[in-house]
Amino acid sequence: MAPTEGSILEANTVNFNWEPVGEATGYQIQVATPNFGNATQLVLDSVVEVDTLGYVTTRLGQSLFNGNYEWRIKAFNSDYETPYTASAFQVNGDEDQDLPPPNNLQLVSPTNESSASNTFNVTVSN
């Protein structure tokens, strides 16, 4: 149900809501950025199952940075599962919640255009 396809949310706390599926004992919810086809990060991968009172929630909250996301959900029980239902949305909340830039490696050694007469091992760390 929410967030719907193409939504632009002005808050960084996102409440995911979905319709209950009859006889479902659980739901698998996933959120990727920017989408599942080109995911740079799986932000959420969670299973919501029936509790001890026999209740299965159809709502989950998650804090997200500003950016583009896609969420999907499927229902399941011990015998069956539905296909995923997906929706893309954008978070445009607090400007201090922008996605951090990706970590860029900085070459320390050897310097550009240097040469070595010996064979050496290269180690990359961050």
Strand partners, 26: 49, 76
Length, in residues, of the chain: 126
Question: For the whole model, what pTM was predicted?
Answer: 0.73
Q: Tens of pLDDT along 7-62?
A: 999 999 999 999 999 999 999 999 999 999 999 999 999 999 989 888 899 999 99
Q: Is the pLDDT of residue 104 over 50?
A: no
Longest dimension (CA), the chain: 72
Q: For the chain, which domains are there? A: 7-97 (2.60.40.10)
Q: What is the mean pLDDT of the chain?
A: 85
